[in-house]
Amino acid sequence: MKKIEDFKEYLKKISYLGNIRGLVSWDLETKAPENAIESRSKSMAAISELIFNMTVSKEMEEFINYFSSEEIFNTLSEEDKKLVKLEKKEFEKSKKLPVDYIMRMAEATSRAQPAWAEARKKSDFAIFQPHLEKLLGLAKEYTEYIGYNENKYDVFLDEFEPGMKTEDVKKTIETLKNELVPFIQKILDSQNKPNKSLLHGNFEKSKQEELSYKVLKAMNYDFNSGRLDEAAHPFTLRVSPGDVRITTRYREDDFTDSLYSTVHEAGHALYELGLPEKFNELALCSAASYAVHESQSRFWENLVGRNFSFLKFLYSDIKDLFPKYKDISLEEFYKAINFVDRTPIRVDADEVTYNLHIMLRFEIEEALINDRIKVEDLPKVWNEKMKEYVGYEPKNDAEGVLQDVHWSHGSFGYFPSYMIGNLISAQLYYKMLEDIPNFEELLEKGETKPMLDWMRKNVHQEGKLLEPQDLVKKITGNNIDSSCFVKYVKEKYSKIYEI
């Protein structure tokens, strides 16, 4: 018992350093002055080196070897067995990496993020290109250290979705394409199109902020355990178990951008704040996978946030804040919120076309990692694929290849998690309807606590004890698949577009 407790204390020390690194990262993306970037980048590299050294230390190796012996391992609780398995996997992976690689990656990402922000602001890919080339080189270097069988991209996919292979994603994409593409065309051909122009106007930032706080309150986000700030690309960051911060962005011509960015990020934060406290600062106090994480944000953003009943609850506040909606009916507003269109921006995409944006990103990433595309050709390739998948050609780099922050973080392999998360969110939704039959009635009153409690019990409190496939099977009785998502969008949008 003492040995396992000593191991946990050692792991917690590593986590505390990670918390500091997280706080520096949050500051760099929100509040840090421009002249702080150079020194902060070196600070990030130094902290990353400390964390890495503890992760691959002789002391860590002794713990791993001790608890991996069959005799000792079999005496552990099921929870501790899972912890040992997770840490052993990370240890064996980390041992393959030179310490200078960790420092180079930390410094490169610290420099790349502000370069991406500048490039996006100026709509000039050339500013970000050398940083992306460096990060891509480091990513390929990583695959050589870790090793792979058939496809280099599997290395990154496993980071976010344990056990998933590139071929699995390709099969899911094929199934979704076969269902969604003809359905999207029916929607676009419909004569019963909502009036999307209702969403455009001049909306004061202060009023948008007020609405964000109102919706966060309705979602039961705990401001004693977090805060809301502004960032170029909205994100959520868990600094520590009691400090989960979210960001949003504001557009004065469209308040729904900040509204749904806020709801989406709050969905992530609610998951982080609901993870099992008994595992605080340990690997078990983590999401089952990034797709499961995305299932939470997409559930709140779409299945709640764009739900007619919830909008009915929220609409009085919207009308009070933005007088232009005084004479616009809830039905008109609801349909406008759920307008289906060919848009170049992923985060602005509707529920039906969103996965098309993920498909093209997956194809580009997989080709980059496997040397079938060069970084210098990215703007051209991006625009071609956008036209092929979405039917829209971006007007500039900001609207095209520079719209996502992920590559500046070195997060190759993340994008498929958005698509898988969409599928899981629909599976959880239909199971929740069985368990909470008055779901719609509660949303009309703005009572989302029962939904949050359901997620806490079924998803959040499991932490990382189960693989994502096992978690979804335990909750719904089925493996992760696209059937519930396809059912959901067809039911909802057939009514809106009368098709």
Measured CA to CA, the distance from residue 306 to residue 138 in angstroms comes to: 40
Tally the C-alpha atoms within 13 A of residue 173's C-alpha that lie toward its C-beta.
19
Residue 184's CB: how many other CB atoms inside 10 A?
20
Measured CA to CA, the distance from residue 248 to residue 213 in angstroms comes to: 11
Map out the domains of the chain as residue ranges: 2-125, 166-496
Strand partners, 228: 246
Strand partners, 246: 228, 236
Residue 265 appears among annotated catalytic residues: yes
Please report the pLDDT score of residue 258 as a whole number.
96
Does domain 166-496 match CATH 3.10.20.600?
no
Q: Is 457 helix (H, G, I), strand (E, B) or coil?
A: helix
Measured CA to CA, the distance from residue 372 to residue 153 in angstroms comes to: 12
Residue with tokens 């979405």: 390
Measured CA to CA, the distance from residue 462 to residue 470 in angstroms comes to: 11
Single-letter amino acid, residue 245: R
Mind giving me the DSSP string for 356-385? Answer: HHHHHHHHHHHHHHTTSS-GGGHHHHHHHH
Measured CA to CA, the distance from residue 307 to residue 186 in angstroms comes to: 22
DSSP state of 77: -
Q: Is 423 helix (H, G, I), strand (E, B) or coil?
A: helix
Tens-digit pLDDT profile for the chain (499 aa)? 899 999 999 999 999 999 999 998 888 888 888 888 888 888 888 898 899 999 999 999 999 999 999 999 999 999 999 999 999 999 999 999 998 998 899 899 989 999 999 999 999 999 999 999 999 999 999 999 999 998 999 999 999 999 889 999 999 999 998 999 999 999 999 999 999 999 999 999 999 999 999 999 999 999 999 999 998 889 999 999 999 999 999 999 999 999 999 999 999 999 999 999 999 999 999 999 999 999 999 999 999 999 999 999 999 999 999 999 999 999 999 999 999 999 999 988 999 999 999 999 999 999 999 999 999 999 999 999 999 888 899 999 999 999 999 999 999 999 999 999 999 999 999 999 999 999 999 999 999 999 999 999 999 999 999 999 999 999 999 999 999 999 999 999 999 999 9
Measured CA to CA, the distance from residue 63 to residue 7 in angstroms comes to: 7
Which position among 107, 265, 281, 365 bears the catalytic label?
265
